[in-house]
Amino acid sequence: MTLTLSHGPLSGAPPQSVNYDIEGPAHRLFFQQFPRRVRAVIGGETVVDTRDGKLLHETGLLPQLYIPLADVRSDVLEASDHTTHCPFKGQASYWSVRVGDQRAENGVWAYPEALDGAAWLRGHLALYWQAADAWFDEDEEVHGHLRDPYHRVDVRQSSRHVRVLLDGRPVAETDRPMLLSETGLPNRYYIPPEDVRRDLLTESPTRTVCPYKGTTTYWAFADGDRRVDDVAWSYPEPLEEATKAGGHLCFLHESVTTEVDGEPLR
């Protein structure tokens, strides 16, 4: 996914089909300005408010926001004895965050004496995403993590014939899927609900959040004694990039057989 995962140019397995070599360590760091204001709220108080945040793209990891010291509320930070060491960035110091009765232990870290190859990290702090109650990108609350500028979602109408079978039994068939392409991930086929055997599906309590597509509702297959949990999912209220797939169902390839134009998906 994006620059640092899957076969991105900064991943651990960069693509072969290029006419250049990237010289340097196998574990790569890329520090880049984030283009918008970011705020983090804990216990009803804003503890981070920055217009100068930076994204650290690091091989094998999702991008991490680093914030200038001046843009983090120092009065809510409590120094910790906890430390960790990264061979690529250096020794990390930690702070806990206390707002009223709420405390995020070791929720903030920094590299005060970052290695020379990552010297630009000095003077910046990072806050664990889950340590905050809410994050805002400009004035919109965001969930999961900040959106990576190098990650995108495209949804296109398609006339491919898609058939989904479970234990050899058709559970969905359509000639009008929505084809969703997402950076670094396989294409997914979203099927109109009218073309799905809804009598074989029951809504699951499972919910997940995708920063690019929205909150996911899951569905279980249930027929007699046979049950497969979370075999399909949908986005009832998708974010703008996935609007055209809203309400459509996508099936987990590992749990079903999906055929596209008569050929099984691998």
Q: Tell me the per-residue pLDDT of 104-116, one tens digit each, with 9 for 90 and over.
A: 999 999 999 999 9
- Is pLDDT of 138 > 80? yes
pLDDT confidence tier of residue 1, bands split at 50, 70 and 90: low
29-142 and 153-264: same fold? Answer: yes
- Is pLDDT of 179 > 80? yes
- Is pLDDT of 266 > 80? no
Q: How far is the CA of 10 from the CAs of 19, 22, 252, 257, 263, in angstroms?
A: 15, 9, 28, 33, 33
Instruction: Specify the pLDDT at position 263.
Output: 92
Instruction: Specify the pLDDT at position 9.
Output: 84
Q: Domain residue spans in the chain?
A: 29-142, 153-264
Tokens of 202: 């029951």
- Is pLDDT of 2 > 90? no
Structure-token match 């609007």, residue found: 243
Q: Are 41 and 132 in contact (CB under 8 A)?
A: yes
User: Which residues lie closer than 8 Å to 127 by C-beta, 6 or more apart?
Assistant: 40, 47, 48, 65, 67, 72, 97, 107, 108
Protein fold of 153-264: 2.170.150
Of 3.30.450.20, 3.30.750.24, 2.170.150.40, 2.10.25.10, the CATH number of 29-142 is: 2.170.150.40
CA 12 to CA 17: how far, in whole Å? 15
Q: Is the pTM of this model over 0.85?
A: yes
- Percentage above 90 pLDDT, the chain: 83
Tokens of 193: 């609900």
- Is pLDDT of 168 > 80? yes
